Amino acid sequence: MYSVGAVLRRRRNASLEAHKPFLRKNSFDFSAGDAGLCRSFDHDGPVSLPSVAPATPFPKFVAFFRRHPVLFLLCLSPGIPEYLSGSSSFEGIVAYLPVFLLFLALNLGLYGPGVLLIREALVRWRKSWAAVLALGAGYGILEEGTGLTTLFNPKASVVGGLGSYGHYLGVNWVWVIGVLQIHVVLSIGLPILLLGLALPETRGRPLLTNGQVGVALAIFVVDIAVLAAIEHYYPVGGLLEVLGVLVALGLAYLAYRLPANLLDPTSEGPRYGPPLCFLLGLVWYPIIVLVPGIGEHTPLGAPAVGVLEIAISGALFFAVRRGVGRSHNEAQLVMLALGALAPIFLFGLIAQILIPIVLVADVLFVMFFYSLWRRYSGSRGTPASAVPAGAG
C-alpha cells in the first residue's frame, strides 16, 4: 500500500516588466476557475473575478507573497508533497540541521523548478487541464524514474509489495499508476491552483523571464542528475533511465500540441456545491491507496487491479470535470483542494505528532484554507466584474 510519507521522499516586479510587451500582445486568463490553467483572453473575455473581493484575514502575509509569488509557489511545492505529508520530517531542524538543509535544498531544486516550469508552459502555451496531466506525469517520471528509480526497483522500501505485484519488464506498473497521480495532483496541479486562488493577480502572468526559465531548467537537470548518480534506491542501468527521459519529453511535446481547452470543465458555472466538491477531493487519495493495497491480496491479477485503479480515478476526474464549472467556482475549488489535502494533512500529522515544530506547519495549513474560504465563500453565484487580465 501507498504511504504518504514513503511515496514522495524527496520578483514579481522584474518578471512582469520583462513581459509587459508580451502580455499586451497576448492577454490571457490564468483563471482559478480553470484550476489555475490559462485560456485565451481574446476568446474568453476578461478575467472572471468576484465583483466583491472580501478582504483576507491575513493581509500582511498576502502583501508579502504578492511581492514574492515565486516564493509562495515554492512554499506549496515541495511544501505539500514533502513537508505537509511528513515525507520529509521536520525533526531534522532540531536533531540534524545540516542534513535537513541538504534535503531541503534537494527538494527545492527538484519540486521548485518542476512546478515553476510547468506553470510557465501552461501560461505561455495557453494550455489547460489536459496539459497539466501530461506535464505532471512527465515530471513524475523524471523524479521517480530517472532520479529516484522507484518506478523500476522492485525492492524499494517506498514501493513495498507493489514491487513484486505488477512488476513486468523492469517496471513497477501498479506503483506507477498511483505515484504519477500523486505528482500530477500534489506536486504540480494543486500548487498551481492554490497560487491562482491565493494571489489572483498572478493569473495569466509569467513569473519568470526567459533567462530565469533557463536557470530553473538547469537547476532541475542538475538535481535529477545528482539523484540519479546517488542511485538512492536501485542501479537500474542507463536504458530505463534514458527511456524515462524520452517518455517525459514526449509528454511535454504532447502537452504543447494538445488543444488548449481539452478536458476543461463542461459547464460555465458549477453544478456541484462546495460540500460535494470536498467529498470528491476527499476520496481521491484513499482510492489510490486502497485499490492496489487490497488488490494485491486478492486473486485479481495486477493488470486487472491497474485497470480498475485507472477506471475509478478516471471516473472521479470526469465527475469533477462535469461539476466544478469554469467560472464563479472559487468556493468549489477551495473545498476540492481541501478535500484532496485532508488525508495528506492527517497522515503527516500522525507521522510527526511527537515533533512539536510540525504543529507550526499544521497551523499554517489551517490558517491558509480558512483565509481562502473567508475570501471566496460569499462569491458563489456573484456576477463577475470585468477586470482586464493585466489588472492587479
DSSP string, 95-139: H-HHHHHHHHHHHHHHHHHHHHHHHHHHHHHT--HHHHHHHHHHH
Q: Report the alpha-carbon distance of residue 112 to residue 201 in Å, rounded.
A: 20
**pLDDT at residue 63, rounded to an integer:** 85
Question: Residue 3 corresponds to which amino acid?
Answer: S
Asked if residue 192 lies in contact with residue 35, where contact means CB atoms within 8 angstroms, the answer is: yes
For 229-258, what is each residue's pLDDT tens digit? Answer: 876 555 666 788 888 999 999 999 999 999
Q: Where are the alpha helices (DSSP H) in the chain?
A: 4-7, 12-25, 41-44, 59-67, 69-76, 91-95, 97-125, 129-140, 173-182, 190-198, 210-230, 238-257, 274-295, 302-323, 330-351, 358-376
Of residues 77 and 84, more confidence is placed in: 77
State the average pLDDT over residues 54-58.
Answer: 61
pLDDT at 234: 59
Q: Are 19 and 209 in contact (CB under 8 A)?
A: yes
| Per-residue model confidence (pLDDT) at position 357 | 75
Is 90 exceeded by the pLDDT of residue 362? no
Beta bridge partners of 37: 31
CB 27 within 8 A of CB 204: yes
Give the mean pLDDT of 305-331.
Answer: 96
Give tens-digit pLDDT for 121-153: 999 999 999 999 999 999 999 999 988 889 998
- Name the H helices within 183-301: 190-198, 210-230, 238-257, 274-295
pLDDT at residue number 85:
82
Q: Cα separation of 378 and 334, whole Å?
A: 12
Q: Cα(339)–Cα(275) distance, rounded to whole angstroms?
A: 9
Confidence at 348, pLDDT banded by 50, 70, 90: confident
pLDDT level of residue 56 (50, 70, 90 thresholds): low
Contact 123, 37 (CB under 8 A): no
Query: 114, 118, 112, 138: which is closest to 37 by C-alpha?
Result: 118
Per-residue pLDDT at 391: 30
Report in angstroms the alpha-carbon separations of 87 from 5, 84, 102, 352: 4, 8, 15, 10
- Please check whether residue 279 is in contact with residue 342, taking contact to mean a CB–CB distance below 8 angstroms: no
The CA-atom distances, in angstroms, between 203 and each of 109, 124, 185 are 24, 12, 19
**Max Cα-Cα span within the chain:** 61
